Amino acid sequence: MSSIVAIVGRPNVGKSTLFNRLIQRREAIVDAVSGVTRDRHYGRTDWNGKEFSVIDTGGYVKGSDDVFEAEIDKQVELAIDEADAIIFMVEVESGVTGMDEEVANLLRKVDKPVFLVINKVDNNDRLAQAVEFYSLGLGEYYPISSINGSGTGDLLDDVVKALPEKEDVRVDDLPRFAVVGRPNAGKSSFINALIGEERYIVTDIAGTTRDAIDTRYNRFGFEFNLVDTAGIRRKSKVKEDLEFYSVMRSVRAIEHCDVCLLVLDATRGFDGQDQNIFWLAERNRKGIVILVNKWDLVEKETNSAKEFEKEIREKIAPFTDVPIIFISALTKQRVYKAIETAVEVYQNKSKNIKTSVLNEVLLPIIENNPPPALKGKYVKIKYITQLPTPQPQFAFFCNLPQYVKEPYKRFLENKLREQFDFHGVPISIYMRKK
């Protein structure tokens, strides 16, 4: 499990620019795979061989200036609770502001590494001006320019030194299922329905879930580990609708599992927060099953389930090959089906297809539908193999890999799905030079 570094600070100090700089190498690779670009507030990166997740809190603050202060306080408190290290960003042009002081007050009480980063220091005059930030009482600071990257190397050297060593503790080879979703979607009720005991306290207050990570179960003849999105105590001060909170909470569980069971509240629809969690799982290349909970509370029309499903698929395109199951955790309706499907998705994710079979099945299809010629040059795909990775990745060897564009890769992905059933699992496709 990788550590989490949160970037906090008031608006417009350059948090997102630093975030983009930190994750660009890794994220660019991830993006080339599926051709989706979404708002990025979460990414993974590595420095000196150490991998960690970065969260840009700025992307989650919405509202007018007076709303900002309260929101930023909340985010800083959450970052203090959740992150392993905190980058507190200020900028030299405005000097120390009241909001900076407020954030510093919260951070001074923290028993976690805090890095005070002063942005926009791109000349000697500004280096001299930076001295006033000693008044925040956070000790040494890092003068950087997040636009051109100067100073970020020293910062990252110290950040990775301060991160705790985290082992990915796999006790057994059982599938790991994470139950994720926004607060109050019914995650705990689903788990109770699943394991048939009131192990998790269920109340109407969002975020009453207490520590429980990786619990082993044997239900309906399946054995699996459940990674609950708990392990995090809920601060009563924090408002339950905070998008950042659900995402922060889901990050650890998702990185720690094989298949995500994303629980939605049918009465609220598939909103931005659910989509954020979905793309988080997709970017981490995890198996996904979408569970539409509280379906018993929805007013039904003739096609309402079909309509609802269609709407979800439109929002998750292009990765639409995902099981969507309508459940009620309260009446236990289709809870067994949910687990059965999660097991199938896990098996799909672990599927290994022989090279001979891949070539036998796909090469004739490719011959009938070759990649479109570009600048009069024809791409010839000669050979396909599955890469030895924990999730399905395929290398297609050809003469001109750079000419194969996204739509054709999607065509190849669809053919792989049709022929070999990767329902619920993101697939990565790489074009390689023969």
**Binding site residue list:** 9-16, 56-60, 119-122, 181-188, 228-232, 293-296
SS3 call for 376: coil
Distance CA 141, CA 120 (A): 13
Task: Round to whole Å and give the CA distance between 88 and 301.
Answer: 51
**Six-digit token pair at 332?**
């236990």
Residue in the block written with tokens 């949910």: 338
Nearest partner of 34 among 370, 366, 367, 412, judged by Cα:
412
Beta-sheet strands, E only, within 145-286 = 176-180, 215-219, 222-228, 259-265
Spacing of C-alpha 184 from chain mean position: 19
Ranges assigned E (strand) in 9-119:
42-47, 50-56, 85-91, 114-119
Q: Which residues of 41-79 are buried (b: 16+ CB within 10 A; e: fewer)?
A: bbbbbebeebbbbbbbbbbbbeeeeeeeeebbbbbbebb
Q: How far apart are CA 424 and CA 427, in angstroms?
A: 10
Angle between helices 243-255 and 272-283 (to 10 degrees): 20
Please report, in range form, the residues annotated as the binding site for GTP: 9-16, 56-60, 119-122, 181-188, 228-232, 293-296
136-142: list long-range contacts, CB under 8 Å, 24+ apart: 136/90, 136/96, 136/100, 136/101, 136/104, 137/104, 137/108, 138/88, 138/104, 138/107, 138/108, 138/114, 140/116, 141/116, 141/117, 142/115, 142/116, 142/117, 142/118
Task: State the Cα–Cα distance between residues 230 and 188, nearest whole angstrom.
Answer: 10
